[in-house]
Structure 1
C-alpha cells in the first residue's frame, strides 16, 4: 500500500477507522524528511495491512498545531484510535521495522486501562 495524504478533513476518519496508522509529519524544505521518505514508503509497501499517512505540515498547519509538532519529521502511531507513539526524528529502516513490530505486539486492553488511569488522575 502506498502512503496516503492526510489532511484536517480526513485525519480523524483515517485514524479512527483503521487498526494501525503510522503518520509522518513532514515538509518539502526539510532534508531529514526527504531522507526518511523512502524508508517510510518502503515500509508502506511491505506492510499492506497498515495505513501509512503523511501530513505536510506546511499545507496542514492546523494538524501540526493540534498535535504539538515542533520538529520534523515526527512519526506518530495510532492503534485502535489511541496514539501509542509520537517522536521526532528520521528513523533508519531497522528502527521503523522494530517500531511496527512493537505496535503490533501491544496489548490494547492494557493500553486502554493505562489511558483511563491517566485520565482519572488528571481530573
Structure 2
C-alpha cells in the first residue's frame, strides 16, 4: 500500500507523529500492515470516511515500519484503531469495521 498524494488520510511515522497529535483535535488512528488482509479491506472504508469528514483527520501507522509508535500504544493485533482527542487516547477497537461502525467509533460526543 503506497502513500497516495490525493488521499485524505495522513501517513504518520516517528518524525511527524507527535506534532500531528498536538495539532489536531480528534484523530482516529489506524494501525495496519501490508500483510494484514483485514487492514487492506479497511483501506477503502477509511478513504471514504476521511474524504467525507473534513473536520476529522484520519491517520495510518504502518506497524512494520513504526516500531516505536507500536510499542508506545501497546498494539498487539491488527488492524487496531485508537481514537485520540486533544492528544489523549479516549478509546480503541481491534479488528475491521464497517463504515457505520467507524462513524459510531468516532462519535465521541455520544459517550
Q: TM-score under structure 2 normalisation?
A: 0.88
Q: Distance in 1 between matches of 2:74 and 2:106?
A: 23
After TM superposition, which residue ranges in structure 1, 4 or more long, deviate above 4 angstroms? none
Paired positions, count: 105
Structure 2: 5+ residue stretches without partners: 1-6
Q: TM-score under structure 1 normalisation?
A: 0.80
Structure 1: 5+ residue stretches without partners: 108-123
Structure 1 match to 2:96: 90
Bigger radius of gyration: 1
User: How is 1:1-12 mapped onto 2 (pairs within 5 angstroms)?
Assistant: 2-12=8-18
Structure 1 match to 2:77: 71
Structure 2 match to 1:43: 49
Asked which structure has the greater RCO (Cα within 8 Å, sep 6+), the reply is: 2
Aligned-pair RMSD on alpha carbons?
Answer: 1.4
